[in-house]
Amino acid sequence: MADRRTKGDLLERKIDVCFGHVDVDGDGFFDEADVLAMAARIIAHQNIPIDSAPAVGLFKSYQEFMHNILEHLDVDGDGRINPEEWRKGIIGVFGDHPERFDALFRPLAEAIWRVCDRDGDGTVSAEEFLCFQKAMGSSPENRRLAFEKLDVNGDGSLSV
């Protein structure tokens, strides 16, 4: 029998993979320790000083992101997000209200881009992006694929 997966199933699988990336310590929850670890990994992989303005900005942005995402997704109020809260929240809170997604995720994306844009040209090259994806734990194949999918105009660089 053919595998018949719906668009919703694919979306949930993608969201679950994303949860696997944000749950840095693998304890089954997305929490403050994970956001700080993510920021540190990105900074280390981009080889920038931890006390530089972009690095400090990234730590602050991740902490603010965590505070804000807890408001939307932490249903049980325990200060951390489990996979079910993540999945339901991303689909329900942000799927129905894309403006919330932009308001919550864009400041973090901008902070990440400031760290990843090592040459300061305002864009992230394939090399800079692949380094970021490595920090996030993506496989080499998925890093390359992600860049190709995100580089919609084919110019070899990404903007926020």
Out of 66-70, 112-116, 136-140, which region has the weakest mean confidence (pLDDT)? 136-140
CA 139 to CA 39: how far, in whole Å? 19
Tokens in use for 127? 């090399």
CA 19 to CA 73: how far, in whole Å? 13
Listed by start position, the domains of the chain span 7-119
Read off the pTM: 0.82
For 29-43, the pLDDT digits (tens) are 999 999 999 999 999
pLDDT at residue number 1: 41
Query: Cα Rg for the chain, rounded, in angstroms?
Result: 16
pLDDT at residue number 157: 92
Tokens in use for 115? 């760290």
CA atoms within 13 A on the CB side of 57: 14
CATH topology classification for 7-119: Recoverin; domain 1 (1.10.238)
For 52-109, the pLDDT digits (tens) are 999 999 999 999 999 999 999 999 999 999 999 999 998 888 877 888 888 888 899 9
